Chains A and B, each alone.
Chain A
Amino acid sequence: MSELKKIPTREGFGVEIAALGHENPDLLVVDIDIGKSCKTGQFRKELPGQYINVGIAEQNGAGVAAGLATCGKIPFVVTYAVFGSLRICEMIRQEICYPNLNVKIACSHGGVTPANDGASHQSIEDMGVLRTLPNMTVIMPADYNAARKLVRAAANTYGPMYLRFTRDAMPQVYGEDVEFTIGKAHQIQDGKDIAIIANGDTVSIAMEAARELETQGISVRLLDMHTIKPLDVEAVTACVNDIGRIITVEDHNIINGLGSAVCEVAAEMGKGIVKRVGIQDQYGQSAPYERLLAMNGITAGNIVRIAKELL
């Protein structure tokens, strides 16, 4: 699989949202100026009647989308993750989540993937913050094909949703025929010694760690937890009961993201041990993507090391 071309997951969003727009005239894009970067160009060109650009005005973008949704439209608000979550958090709460409107917030530049843009653009708190809003669904696809499938699933499922994509190119881990269900973990492989639960751009890193562990005779169950809310509690419970040793991996602060969500399940069960790999509660800098991950221990080598400590 490593021979396949790397593609940013925002490209998957761009292709799929255009296809969906052709299928459903009520599906709209609400851009906040940075559509070119967020890959809405095809939609804009082919579906001008369903395309809105509110300019550099994120708060307004959220409110306009809410108003459109009350009239039966399915607006996708498109911006960068740090703006589409924290900058407009209270608008999402008041006008989208509280009234439970069918608005999707679709964001590129998730995690540290806008690597050389620096800390201002690296979104490490977004999924955790939005996870605390009632009615909200929070999703990060692992690759191009996952992005396409999960964007389609989001468009066809009622309710407020936050989708997070990568700016930088990511390895393709799935074929075109892969299928996902929102709120259900996607099991990449089964195993009995260690469970690794990853999402987004860290899935390929977790796969690399799993391959290394398998060569050392350690059997790994690997889950792609693309939806952190609603969390697939059943899948996490099974990991705790069947294996008991879990490593979570995410391109997000270790506080309040995937790792925290998994810990909540294990803690309430009163058993199992969870180790969290992710951003170490610190801001990044302008640097290569791989270096930023390494600074936070988000590497296959570190996952392997933690797995062996747990055994």
Chain B
Amino acid sequence: MKQTIPELKKTATEMRMKVIDMIYKAQSGHPGGSLSAADFVTACYFYDMRVDPADPRWPDRDRMILSKGHVCPIQYACLATLGYFPESELDTLRKEGSMLQGHPSMNKCPGIDISTGSLGQGLACGVGMAMAGKMDKKDYQVYVVVGDGEAQEGEIWEAANTAHKYQLDNLVVFLDINNLQLDGTTDEVMPNGDLGRKFDAFGWEVLELDGHSMEEIVAALDKCRASKNGKPKCLAARTVKGKGVSYMENVCGWHGIAPNKEQYEQAMAELRAQLNG
């Protein structure tokens, strides 16, 4: 199951292609954030996480929560590729009757550990799962993807406090710091300051990294898995919204719209070139 770093880089690009393809076919969805979280989510599923696609609710599995639930296309791409459901389902994203809701639903889609979509809530759910793991003496890890815009929600910090109190070293937050949110840059809308230092002040172990460097992501995941120091982990990752598609990179407007035919073809051509290059 564990891919090598070169394999992971290739897989991340393939996942990006699936993201663009499904959002294009749906003509609806959130490409920007899906692409900024793509390398981390890919590394989790294809390198680090202990999961069983044939038994999505295996009690000992590692958990993945997209607290910024709108970036679910990247998780759907990974789940389909691992065989949680047929890849043909990806063509049904956001369509009536689909298991692939616009925001993830745990009771419709196998492999989704909690329903999200309302920002700020996923970390508290991850705290609950990590707590249950400690109570039941299980050694699973819980991963939560939190957006930097999302970190403006107060509940994130309530949950950060609780994770520290209960010494949840089995909890890992991937802080996707792409500096953009729907209405503009985070500095314009609501400056976050240094989010890594904030988590540090909350008693977390903070690792700063380039969120698109597979080498750094894998090293961070290894470190988190090995560390049993009683501290929850925060991977404060510098990322680029829209990463991998030139015209989407760092462009706020690509938060929540689908590409047209021409844009789709350009995006796929660029990603194909990255795959072969």
**In the complex the two chains form, what is the Cα distance from A160 to B125 in whole Å?**
16
A67 contacts B132, C-beta separation under 8 Å: yes
A221 CB to closest chain B CB (Å) equals 41
**In the complex the two chains form, what is the Cα distance from A72 to B118 in whole Å?**
23
Collect the chain B residues with CB atoms within 8 Å of residue A59's CB. 120-121, 124, 154-155, 158
Of the four ranges (under 10, 10 to 19, 20 to 34, 35 or more), the interface on chain B belongs to 20 to 34
B124 contacts A99, C-beta separation under 8 Å: no
A52 CB to closest chain B CB (Å) equals 7
Q: Using CB atoms, name the residue of chain B closest to A100.
A: B107
B124 contacts A52, C-beta separation under 8 Å: no
Partner of B115, one of A62, A68, A73, A94: A94
Collect the chain B residues with CB atoms within 8 Å of residue A61's CB. 124
A67 contacts B128, C-beta separation under 8 Å: yes
Q: Using CB atoms, name the residue of chain A closest to B159.
A: A60
Counting CB contacts under 8 A, is A46 at the interface? no
Which of A54, A63, A91, A99 has its CB near the most chain B CB atoms (within 10 A)? A63
B84 CB to closest chain A CB (Å) equals 17
A213 CB to closest chain B CB (Å) equals 49
A70 contacts B114, C-beta separation under 8 Å: yes
Q: Using CB atoms, name the residue of chain B closest to A103.
A: B128
B32 CB to closest chain A CB (Å) equals 22
**In the complex the two chains form, what is the Cα distance from A157 to B124 in whole Å?**
24
B121 contacts A67, C-beta separation under 8 Å: no
Collect the chain B residues with CB atoms within 8 Å of residue A100's CB. 107
Counting CB contacts under 8 A, is B105 at the interface? yes
**In the complex the two chains form, what is the Cα distance from A47 to B117 in whole Å?**
35
**In the complex the two chains form, what is the Cα distance from A61 to B124 in whole Å?**
8
Collect the chain A residues with CB atoms within 8 Å of residue B126's CB. 67
A64 contacts B124, C-beta separation under 8 Å: yes
Collect the chain B residues with CB atoms within 8 Å of residue A57's CB. 155, 158-159, 161-162
Collect the chain B residues with CB atoms within 8 Å of residue A66's CB. 114, 124-125, 128
Counting CB contacts under 8 A, is A209 at the interface? no
Counting CB contacts under 8 A, is B262 at the interface? no
Binding site for A on B (CB under 8 A): 59, 105-107, 113-118, 120-133, 135-136, 154-155, 158-159, 161-162, 165-166
Question: With contacts A59-B154, A70-B132, A95-B125 known, what are 17 further pairs, Cβ within 8 A?
Answer: A49-B135, A55-B161, A57-B158, A57-B162, A60-B155, A63-B121, A64-B128, A66-B128, A67-B124, A67-B128, A67-B129, A70-B128, A71-B59, A71-B129, A75-B128, A94-B115, A99-B106
Binding site for B on A (CB under 8 A): 49, 52, 54-55, 57, 59-73, 75, 90-91, 94-95, 98-100
